[in-house]
Amino acid sequence: MSKSNITVLTHVSLITCIVQRGLGNEIVKAAQEAGAQGATFHYGKGSGMHELLGVLSVAIDVEKEIINIVVANDLADRIFERIYVAGNLDTPGMGMIYMTKLEKAATHIAPEILERLLGHDS
């Protein structure tokens, strides 16, 4: 096994957005336009709010898409706001969004990009 260095990212946040099934691609597109590099999403099933909002005659689909995006802290607020608007999250039953500060994260970063980020350009 070869020894490799771990590049740890420390000034990052995780934005999680839960929306009705079929809206994930629009959320990811808005996030990327705001500066996010990519996203991961998966499917889930919600419960609880469906019954509560059903009383208000708001139809809620229980099938959900959960989008996770790791972003630099200096871009986090802008990306969060763009996602909120793109997902119409100010409308009852459309979903929710939250942001969590991460202590650290790690992934492969190409050496030439890492040199630029650390200011070691010649």
| Residue 3 in domain | no
Q: How many CB atoms lie within 10 A of CB 17?
A: 29
Alpha-carbon distance of 52 to 58, in angstroms, equals 9
| Residue 29 in domain | yes
| Residue 6 in domain | no
| Residue 61 in domain | yes
Backbone angles phi, psi at 11, to 5 degrees: -100, 60
Per-residue pLDDT of 51-97, as tens digits, reads: 555 555 555 567 899 999 999 999 999 999 999 999 999 998 899 99
| Residue 87 in domain | yes
Give the best-scoring range by mean pLDDT among 60-64, 91-95, 102-106, 112-116.
Answer: 102-106
CATH number of the domain that residue 96 is part of: 3.30.70.120
In terms of pLDDT, which residue wins out, 2 or 10?
10
